[in-house]
Amino acid sequence: MSAAPHRLLVVDDSNVIRRRIERATELPGIEFVGSARNGVEALELHAQLRPTLVTMDLTMPEMDGAECVAQLVARDPGILILVISALADKLTAIEALERGASGFLCKPFTDHQLNEALRKLIGPAGGDTP
Amino acid sequence: MSLEAEVGVFVAGVLNYFGTSVQQVAQCGTPHLALSERPEIGDYTGVIQVSGKRSGLVAFTAPKSMLSVMLMRMQETDMSHENLCDLVGEIANTLSGNARRDFGHQFQISVPAVLTGRGGQIEYPRNSRPIVVPIAWRNYNARLIVCLN
């Protein structure tokens, strides 16, 4: 019996980036379930969609990604969050990880880099949800 | 960091952006001080306000045709005005955010503001002279405008 796929929520204030991540994610074991434009929307959709995997921008209006990461992890300690941000300094990455993110990918990125970063998060088995 | 080195950070960011995002290299011309107080802008301009250790702005400006082709290279099928605005803002955001690798955590950046139309006006800091980085990609020309105190 195959494991349940990871349920992916994409959070970014850029429509172009949200659609790009949705198109580029082609790993077995990942099912795209929705996208949000900011942290507030992400928290609302988390309650409805119960994602197990999230890609999260940091610089967003309403609620930024760092705050949203902390709130998602407080609600669901097993959730996997890949922060995808243009903020390329080390301190930003460290802060995101300290708030509970599982990985960090710097913008700009190729489709291959995105899939590799997601593969690292979900592990070789792919569909084993936490 | 010298002025040349600072501008070099943004030039490296532009080259990395095009090589990675649309996987076709761009070329940057010689950066120069703007000939006028308000450099000419293209159809779409993304502007990032910078605060913290430095203050000022970073803007990326490009013609509609160039942004449309960039969207195509990203496999995007929606070439709407909204998506063109979104892309130009995202480029400005990425180039500014990447600069934190060299400028540090205190290089604080805003969410992007987008100007449309060549008649738009960027509000530059007082008594400043913007630096213009010409960008050539395919047969299109864009500009990065950096104005930091």
Residues contacting B134, CB < 8 A, separation 6+: B28, B29, B30, B31, B141, B143
Q: If you count residue pairs, one on A and one on B, with CB atoms under 8 Å apart, how many are there?
A: 65
For residue A129, the model assigns a pLDDT of 47
Strand, coil or helix: A79 = coil
Q: Quote the CA–CA distance of A114 and A26 in Å, as a whole number.
A: 10
Task: Decide if pLDDT at B36 tops 70.
Answer: yes
Interface contact A14-B86, CB threshold 8 A: yes
Interface contact A108-B86, CB threshold 8 A: no
Residue A60: name the closest of A84, A30, A89 by CA. A84
For residue A37, the model assigns a pLDDT of 96
pLDDT in tens, A79-96: 999 999 999 999 999 999
pLDDT-derived band at A2 (thresholds 50, 70, 90) equals: low
Which of the 8 DSSP states describes residue B30? -
For A89, which of B89, B93, B101 is closest by C-beta distance? Answer: B101
For residue B2, the model assigns a pLDDT of 85
For residue A126, the model assigns a pLDDT of 55
Task: Decide if pLDDT at A4 tops 70.
Answer: yes
Q: Do residues B52 and B108 lie in contact, with contact meaning Cβ atoms separated by under 8 Å?
A: yes
Strand, coil or helix: B112 = coil
| Chain mean position to CA B140 | 15
For residue B149, the model assigns a pLDDT of 85
With beta carbons under 8 A apart, name residues in chain B contacting A64: none
Interface contact A15-B104, CB threshold 8 A: no
ipTM comes to 0.89
pLDDT-derived band at A1 (thresholds 50, 70, 90) equals: very low
Structure token digits, residue B115 = 């100007």
pLDDT in tens, B71-118: 999 999 999 999 999 999 999 999 999 999 999 999 999 999 999 998
